[in-house]
Amino acid sequence: MTRLALILWLALGTALAPVTILIAPQALAVQPDEVLDNPVLEGRARELSRGLRCMVCRNESIDESNAELARDMRILVRERLVEGDTDQEVIEFIVDRYGEYALLKPTTGGANWLLWAAGPLMLLLALAVGLSYLRGRETAPETGAARLNEDEKARLSKILED
Amino acid sequence: MIGAHKRWPGWMAMAEPAANAQFMLTAFAFGALTYAFVSSDFSVALVVQNSHSLKPMIYKISGVWGNHEGSMLLWVLILTLFGAMAAWFGGNLPPTLRARVLAVQSAIAVAFFAFTIFTSNPFLRMSVPPFDGQDLNPLLQDPGLAFHPPFLYLGYVGLSMAFSFAVAALIEGRVDAAWGRWVRPWTLVAWVNLTIGIGLGSWWAYYELGWGGFWFWDPVENASFMPWLIAAALLHSSIVVEKRESLKSWTILLAIIAFGFSLIGTFIVRSGVITSVHAFANDPERGVFILMILGFFMGGALMLFAARAGAMEAKGVFSLVSRESALVFNNIILTVSCFVVFVGTIWPLVAEMLFDRKLSVGPPFFDMAFTPFMVVLGVILPLGAMMPWKRAEIARSFRPLVPALVLSLAIGALAFAMQTGRSALGPIGMFLGTWLVFGAMVDVWSRTGRGALAGRFGRLTRLPRADWGKAIAHAGFGITVLGVSGLTAWQQEDIRVVQFNQPFEIAGFTLTLTDVQRVEGPNFASTMGTVDLAKDGRAIATLNPEKRFYPVAQMPTTEAAIDIGFWRDVYVVIGDPQNNGGWAVRTYYKPLANWIWGGSILMALGGMFSLSDRRFRVAAGAAKRTPAGGVPAE
């Protein structure tokens, strides 16, 4: 996970923060010695790293993480790219090794279609309900004035006077 | 200390003094804990775990809420504060409604008192007081984060007032314009504080974490973002209740859901359930307790809603094209986008429990699934804000906006022309942001009516503050959109090994590392670099990025050095010394970064302006005798 989130967790009081990550040596995420000479390959490596999860962190990509494992994964990604793998092949390679958990962007396979479709479906539903409500409002008969009792009428006029 | 948590029985006539007493006693407990922290009383376990005698005073105080138990105490303190405020300012409410509001509010308080006492008592003692404390987590020792939780809690907990009002109205069986007017200031207070709290947290993340990210779509962040979205929807729908007496049952439902999401947020954060189902199963006490609170209040309120909602018939009639419809659309977008965030947040849990798949839902998902809703919202907003109530014509509302549209299209096109081969995000963001900002200006201007320029300028200062608040908040949204898209689309990054006095360049700036020194802080040791920043041979600033080490907590932190500018930030982080000499240095060029928080401040400011509107002061009874002639222009 990002350190931000970790702090928020701490700040908001969870007792479950994984302290190990904090003790890991503080370093820059991507080290200068990892960077590939070929800027195109390096660009692809960065893009891929941003979508891969550091397995020992909470919600942190390997591009951001300071953990040793994240460094290993970054180097692995770069090795595959230098070997000539496509982006898709690198991702498949990582998933084969580390499982689906490593993908920060979930696949659309299996039940996951529901996750991706949840927003659009809900929007359609909400629009349908909203439209039918609005149509109803358009044709509804105007009802009489607000039903205030005497006491409230007096107060209302007092407020309006102020 | 147990006495401090006791609550007077809440029968009706007693409600008001009871609310006050509840607040006073909680404040006393909170004061006692603060005193323990300030005086470094190491016989209290919590102080030992989170404080240290050498720590600067401000962090001794913020240490009170920088942990689970203390923050729960802050939570109930704010909860009872709102209850007491309802008692003080509620003189204008019908007595039964007020009593019911207070009753619901203190019922929530009782539940959280129980939670605090039984699962997280902050006053547990140490049998053998140690010599010194273990120090607060160093990342929390920062002014930005010292004030982040109180604001966030004011927001979270403020939504309980909207909830109490909703439930009280359901019991009462009456929702009218007056109810809308009473509930809106409370929602505004909560929303303004949430905005500030989230903005502070994001700003802190930006300068403290060492790579200048500002939003990570972490479950914890989502937990605060979901109530914010719903509160924004609630603000808008309660306008319709107040002005047009429509959308009543929907508004009630939103008020219930808004607080529901605060509770869900609390549950997510405190139970650890999102991290891992197993962590939850190992220490279920707190999680189950909050789940029970959640189930009780949400279940109760929703049942009440199901039983009573039918009784609230809507009044106003309005056409399909009208401000009412625009606000309905706003509500649809905000709640659906909140739903997307919610589904994304809990999906890993659902997938693990139902389909036995361990997977992650990270920023790429949220960026793709959430952003389109904000784009749609931004496109529609200026037009919707211009529409009159009841019946509008799109063409007529649109005409004054034509210059704004042309201008923002031009800026979008300019952004597109100036960048090469990058995504469409930047230009679209520029267009949207400008459209929102100028749309808000046109909105204010059009309120001044017709006639001579001088007269219109004069009227500008006499507009109701709510109108100003609306325009400022909408413009703030636009500025945040500009900042987020500018930063995301055009940020530049440079990672390298830097030797002393060998300049390097990024985005036209020249940077030179001249020195690295060890510096001692009050409770940390620092490795501080000195970097000269120049552009076109002209010196701009000297930056001091630091790496700190806190010996008590055994923790390192990174302190980025940022040259803050209106159009861009230059952001420097120093890393480790390299074997072959030189230091690892990371540099970022971050265009429009500050606009993100500038926009948040404007949104909060807009909310405050609305809050200070005369109507609310009268309605809340805070100022019963405003002088005739109305609002003094400030």
Q: What is the fold of A3-102?
A: Helicase, Ruva Protein; domain 3 (1.10.8)
pLDDT at B15: 64
Say whether B358 and A101 touch across the interface (CB within 8 A).
Answer: yes
In this prediction, residue A77 carries a pLDDT of 92
Lookup result for tokens 């041979």: B537
With CB atoms and an 8 Å threshold, state whether A159 touches B619.
yes
In 10 A of CB A109, how many CB atoms?
9
CB nearest to B362's CB, from A59, A137, A141: A59
pLDDT band at B276 (very low <50, low <70, confident <90, very high): very low
Min Cα–Cα distance to chain A from B556, Å: 6
CB < 8 Å to A30, chain B = 495
Average pLDDT over residues B253-282: 74
In this complex, the residue of B140, B335, B626 whose CB is nearest that of residue A162 is B626
pLDDT band per the 50, 70, 90 thresholds, residue B632: very low
List the single range of B37-41, B153-157, B303-307, B337-341 with lowest mean pLDDT. Answer: B37-41
For residue range B136-181, list pLDDT tens digits in order. 777 777 777 778 888 988 998 889 999 998 988 888 777 777 788 8
Tell whether the model's pLDDT for residue B503 goes beyond 80: yes
Q: For tokens 């303190």, what's the residue?
A: B77
- pLDDT of residue B227 exceeding 90: yes
Angle at B273 between CA B336 and CA A10, to 5 degrees: 95
- Asked if B340 and A118 come within 8 Å (Cβ–Cβ), the reply is yes
């299996």: which residue's tokens?
Answer: A110
B119-140 burial by CB neighbour count: b if 16+ within 10 A, else e?
bbbbbeeeeeeeeebbbbbbbb
Q: In this complex, do A115 and B365 lie within 8 Å of one another by their Cβ atoms?
A: yes
Collapse the DSSP code of B225 into the 3-class scheme (helix H, G, I; strand E, B; otherwise coil) and give the result.
helix
Question: In this prediction, what percent of chain A has a pLDDT beyond 70?
Answer: 68
Cβ contact A2–B576 (<8 Å) = no
Question: B370 falls in which pLDDT band (50, 70, 90)?
Answer: very high
What pLDDT was estimated at residue A6?
46
Q: Which residues of B touch A126 (CB under 8 A)?
A: 332, 335-336
Of residues B85 and B270, the one with the higher pLDDT is B85
B362 CB neighbours in chain A (<8 A) are 51, 53, 59, 61, 103-105
Please enumerate in sequence order all residues whose Cβ is within 8 A of that of B457, keeping only pairs 6 or more positions apart, or say none. Answer: B448
Question: B239 near B180, Cβ under 8 Å?
Answer: yes
Residue A11 is predicted with a pLDDT of 44
Q: Average of pLDDT values for B585-595?
A: 90
Question: Environment class of residue A113 by beta-carbon count within 10 Å: exposed (0-12), middle (13-18) or buried (19+)?
Answer: exposed
Looking at residue B313, its pLDDT comes to 61
CB–CB contact A119 B369 (8 Å): yes
Q: What pLDDT does B555 receive?
A: 77
* Per-residue model confidence (pLDDT) at position B254: 92
The pair of structure tokens assigned to B139 is 């990342």
Q: Mean pLDDT across chain B, nearest whole number? A: 81
The predicted-structure confidence for B558-580, as pLDDT tens digits, reads as follows 888 899 989 999 999 888 888 88
What are the extents of the domains in chain A? 3-102, 112-161
Query: B62 to chain A: nearest residue by CA?
Result: A11
Taking the C-alpha atoms of residue B109 and residue B401, their distance in angstroms, rounded to an integer, is 48
* DSSP symbol at B247: S
Separation between Cα atoms, residue B307 and residue B305, nearest integer Å: 5
Pick the residue from chain A with its C-alpha nearest to B325: A134
Greatest Cα pair distance, chain B, in angstroms, is 79
Compute the average pLDDT of residues B290-300: 87
Backbone angles phi, psi at B580, to 5 degrees: -90, 25
The pLDDT assigned to A121 comes to 92
Confidence (pLDDT) at B634: 29
B482 Cα to chain A: minimum distance (Å): 23
List chain B residues with CB under 8 Å of A2: 205, 209, 213, 216, 218
For chain B, the first-to-last Cα distance in angstroms comes to 46
Q: Does the pLDDT of residue B82 top 60, yes or no?
A: yes
Lowest mean pLDDT among A145-159, B148-162, B227-241, B297-311: A145-159
How much is the pLDDT for B619?
Answer: 45
Q: What pLDDT score does B55 carry? A: 77
pLDDT number for residue B400:
83
- Strands, DSSP E only, in B279-411? none
Using CB atoms, pick whichever of B145, B361, B496 lies closest to residue A7: B145
Q: pLDDT of B36-77, one tens digit each?
A: 887 777 777 777 777 777 777 888 888 888 777 888 888 888
Report percent pLDDT > 70 for chain B.
Answer: 89
Query: Tokens 């004011």 label which residue?
Result: B154
B283 confidence band (pLDDT: 50, 70, 90): low
Q: Which of the two residues, B520 and A13, has the higher pLDDT score?
A: B520
Residue reference for tokens 């002209």: B538
- Rg value, chain B, Cα: 26
Indicate the range of B322-326, B497-501, B528-532 predicted with least confidence: B322-326
pLDDT of residue B455: 75
Instruction: Give how far A2 is from chain B: nearest CA, Å.
Output: 8
> What pLDDT does B616 receive?
58
How far does B574 lie from chain A, in Å, by closest CA?
8
Asked if the Cβ–Cβ distance from A106 to B354 is below 8 Å, we say no
Contact yes or no for A32 and B496 at CB 8 A: yes
- Residues B8 and B110: their CA atoms lie apart, in Å, by 10
Q: How far is A157 from chain B (nearest CA, A)?
A: 12
Residue B422 has pLDDT above 70, yes or no: no
Q: Which chain A residue is nearest to residue B577, measuring alpha carbons?
A: A27
Nearest CA in chain B to A25: B556
Q: How distant is the Cα of A153 from the closest Cα of chain B, in angstroms?
A: 12
Write the residue in B137, B176, B365 that is nearest to A10 by C-beta. Answer: B137
Strands across the sheet with B561-564, in order?
B492-498, B583-591, B568-577, B561-564
Cβ-defined contact of B365 to A104 (cutoff 8 Å)? yes
What is the pLDDT of chain A when averaged over all its residues?
Answer: 75
Per-residue CA distances from A100 to A92, A95, B352 (Å): 10, 5, 12
Q: B74 burial class (0-12, 13-18, 19+ CB within 10 angstroms)?
A: buried
Q: What is the pLDDT of residue B242?
A: 83
- Residue A158 has what pLDDT? 66
Residue-level pLDDT at B532: 92
Mutation pick from B148, B218, B349 vs chain A, by most beta carbons of A within 10 Å, is B218
Per-residue pLDDT tens digits for A123-138: 999 999 888 888 877 7
Pairwise CB contact (< 8 Å): B578 & A130: no
What number of C-beta contacts closer than 8 Å exist between A and B? Answer: 224
Instruction: List all residues 6 or more positions away from A157 whose beta carbon is below 8 Å from its beta carbon.
Output: none
What is the sign of the dihedral through the CA atoms of B277, B281, B286 and B288?
positive
Q: Which helix (H) or strand (E) holds A113?
A: helix A112-139
List the structure tokens of B504.
């390097």
**Contact residues on chain A for B315, CB-CB shorter than 8 A:** 142-143, 146
> Among B325, B188, B208, which residue's Cα sits nearest to residue B608?
B188
**B419, two tokens:** 């960048």
Q: Which pLDDT value is given to residue B33?
A: 83
Task: Name the DSSP class of B125.
Answer: B
Average pLDDT over residues B78-96: 80
Tell me the average pLDDT across B423-438: 88
pLDDT of residue B91: 67
Q: Which residue in A has a C-alpha nearest to residue B361's C-alpha?
A: A104
Residue B433 has pLDDT above 80, yes or no: yes
Res B342: pLDDT? 93
What are the CA-CA distances from residue B402 to residues B327, B414, B462 (Å)? 21, 18, 26
User: With an 8 Å Cβ cutoff, are B354 and A111 in contact?
Assistant: yes
Which of B13-22, B344-353, B544-553, B563-572 bottoms out in mean pLDDT, i.e. has the lowest? B13-22
pLDDT higher than 50, residue B325: yes
The predicted model gives B247-260 an average pLDDT of 90
Say yes or no to pLDDT of A92 above 70.
yes
pLDDT at B339: 94
The minimal CB distance from B140 to the residues A11, A112, A152 is found for: A11
Q: If pLDDT is split at 50, 70 and 90, which confidence band does B509 have?
A: very high
